[in-house]
Amino acid sequence: MRPKQEPLKFAITSKGDATSNTLMQKMKTYLVDFGLEYDEDEPDLVISVGGDGTLLYAFHRYCQRLDKTAFVGVHTGHLGFYADWVPEEIEKLVIAIAKTPYQIVEYPLLEVIVRYISGGQEARYLALNECTVKSLTGTLVMDVEIKGDLFETFRGDGLCISTPTGSTAYNKALGGAILHPSLEAIQLAEMASINNRVFRTIGSPLVLPAHHTCILKPVNQVDFQISIDHLSLLHKDVKLIQCRVADEKIRFARFRPFPFWKRVRDSFIAD
């Protein structure tokens, strides 16, 4: 539970459409009137107005201060997994932020480290949803190591490594399992793997606990497209890609219950 502190510093990110921008300005005015301080550089609370993509943007904008910043989402479009407030509840949310000490809920993230053949500086990323790896030309061929041991040589379109919160996104479309976001784990799912008399992969998603590290090692010296959530990057001369549960966590501000399995049902099953 976060103790009451005055003034609480907040920032708001918007999807950019007219509806989201209007709600952003209304919330900003209300919260400042309540005595809160608007601070885009060092906010205690970031309010995302839009959809899951808007919150992903906010996460990456403030990923260097995850231990100090909490997030809350307002969805102005389709139902999202990160946004649990609707436009009709803006006044209620504003009063809750201004008057109620909120509960902090932490969920695991994915750490991705890319190392290069030439040595030099490695690249490190944090993903809220997933990391995908694809070859720019032809079939992706990679050795998959788990805890330092070779598990398989993958051949196919690509690989997706997801967080529990991201398990309902691209991972689900690939046939991966839906994991509760409180689980300290990552999931490895295949994209159109090649399985015949010569080549063989496990063919099933793998769920790895926090103390297991997954390393992807290219068999061929090719260029890779590595996507971190919504950000796609071209990487050359890749030696390996290391994936594990990150030490950092994302922090959500909760002002009321947020039943995950109800959200899953409402998103995929309910009419």
| Catalytic residue ranges | 52
Q: Which residues contact 183 (CB under 8 A, 6 or more apart)?
A: 108, 164
Distance CA 69, CA 253 (A): 9
CA 198 → CA 152, 201, 216, distances in Å? Answer: 13, 10, 21
Residue 85 DSSP one-character state: B
CB–CB of 220/140 below 8 Å? no
CA 106, 188, 149, 233 dihedral sign is negative
- For the chain, strand residue ranges (E) read 9-14, 37-38, 45-50, 70-75, 103-116, 123-127, 130-135, 140-146, 149-162, 185-193, 206-209, 214-218, 224-228, 231-235, 238-254
DSSP, collapsed to helix, strand or coil, labels residue 213 as: coil
Question: Which residue stretches of 158-228 are H helix?
Answer: 170-173
Only one residue has tokens 């691209």, namely: 170
Residue of 85, 2, 4, 8 lying closest to 42 (CA atoms): 8
